[in-house]
Amino acid sequence: MLNIINNINDPLLSYIKDDPVRPEIPVEFRVSNFRFVGALVEDTPEAMVCVSLHDFIPESVEDLSKESENPDTAIFYTIWSYKAGAARDLLFSTVKEIQRMFPNITRFVTLSPKTEMAKRFHLRNGASVLKENANTVNYEYKVG
């Protein structure tokens, strides 16, 4: 089941400690100002994703803290799984939920590290490279 977490007191946020991509980002940042965490949960979390909504494409982690008044783009800035295949399921479930919750969001883009693992994951799941930045890559998912 998909859980969208935007409450700092949600016990599922204790799993943020396992974030292998952006462990330096505090929990409080992840659930504030157009930011939330998605968790795919059965008995325990199977995968987690952190999302920030913007009206621009961030090129760095620092850009995620810039405010947007009318976001139209969902930025997936970290994703990890505890079960094979769960990250993919979580990604697409979260896209559908964002489309339901925020009909003005029309673009789905990542702020990914420059790693082979991130590249393989996103390209294998249908994304294309939007832009290569100094320390990150933006992949875009075309969803209808």
Q: What is the CATH number of the domain that holds 8?
A: 3.40.630.150
For residues 38 and 50, give the distance between their C-alpha atoms in angstroms, rounded to a whole number: 6
- Residue 57, CB half-sphere, CA atoms under 13 Å: how many? 17
Residue 144 clears pLDDT 80, i.e. is over it? no
Band the pLDDT of 119: cuts 50, 70, 90. very high
Question: If you average pLDDT over every residue of the chain, what do you get?
Answer: 96
pLDDT tens readout for residues 2-33: 999 999 999 999 999 999 999 999 999 999 98
Over residues 91-109, the mean pLDDT reads 97
Q: What is the pLDDT of residue 92?
A: 96
pTM of the model: 0.96
If one counts the domains in the chain, the total is: 1
Residue 117 parent element (H or E): helix 116-124
Over residues 77-85, the mean pLDDT reads 97
Residue 56 CB neighbour total at 10 angstroms? 12
Enclosing domain of residue 21: 2-141
